[in-house]
Amino acid sequence: MSKGIVYMLIAAFAFAWMNLLAKYLDTFHPLQVVFFRAFGTFIFIFPYMLIKKVSLVGKNVFWLSLRGVLSFVSLALFFKVVQDIPLGSAVALRYTAPIFSVIMAYFFLRETVKLGQWISLIISIAGAFIMKGVDFRIDTISFVLIIMSSVLVGGVFVIIRYLGSREHYLTIINYFMVFSIIGSLFFINYWRMPIGKEWLWVSLIGILGLIGQVFLTRAFQLADTSTVAPLKYMELVYALIFGFFLFDESYTVWALTGMTLVVFGMLLNIIVKRKG
């Protein structure tokens, strides 16, 4: 097994635990959880960037800032929804992000989108609406918010693709952390002080986010995207397992069918692109 595959599995596992903690910390305001996530990563990468002399500002300030804002809002919406609906459902619905990434790349980057990709996107959209229709735990507001989160993630993917090798990957990540920290502080009046073991959980959410980010980046550096990208969907498998055992979450056959269609559509999109 290649290092790239192993690293992606580790990344998916770390992100799954991060999402689990975001749900577990449902007595905290979602923006306070965002702060824990961002600050826990920032305190590690910021000193490293200074030591390695990685640019803190970068050359494309506008696009880096826009990436930071979109990522912050997307994460805030996701953590809000995670606290309100089943963990597996939230994770699965957020996997519709590549749909919007492909559409935005088509219009803004002039990338070619094949017929097979359009079909794969329709399949995923159908899966998302099946999930909403059959699982009454997914209220309309949560569904709209998670789709908005996915749209923003799609925009982030396009911006990162545009930046490409123009910026160091740590510079890109750091903008995300800085904007998330600053943005979340506007909601400080809704925060409360962690108590006892909660200090451990709020610390871990940032550390797990950092581990996931680092291993995700390394996975894409060491292996082809088409090889490691599908393994990111293991995050959904972990979420379903965690939800079942820790939050007593279960799903009907139709709900699982909707999740399967979302994932299948995204995997089909990767396969079609690979054959191009």
Question: Tens digit of pLDDT for each residue in 148-171?
Answer: 999 998 898 888 888 877 888 899
pLDDT tens-place string over residues 111-147: 888 888 899 889 999 999 999 999 999 999 999 999 9
What are the boundaries of each domain within the chain? Answer: 3-274
**d(C-alpha 128, C-alpha 217), whole Å:** 28
Secondary structure tally for the chain: helices H, strands E: 12, 0
- Token pair 């192993």 is found at 6
Dig out the tokens for 248 from the structure. 């007593």
Percent of the chain whose predicted confidence (pLDDT) is above 70 = 96
Residues in CB range of 249: below 8 A, 6 or more apart: 86, 87, 88, 240, 243
Stated pTM of the model: 0.91
Question: Does residue 7 carry a pLDDT above 80?
Answer: yes
Contacts of 179 by beta carbon, 8 Å cutoff, 6+ apart: 65, 68, 69, 71, 72
CA distance 203 to 219: 25
In 3D space, the residue among 171, 164, 206 whose CA is nearest the CA of residue 48 turns out to be 171
Residues 94 and 74: their CA atoms lie apart, in Å, by 10
Q: ∠263-18-86 over CA atoms, to 5°?
A: 55
In the block, residue with structure tokens 């009046």: 189
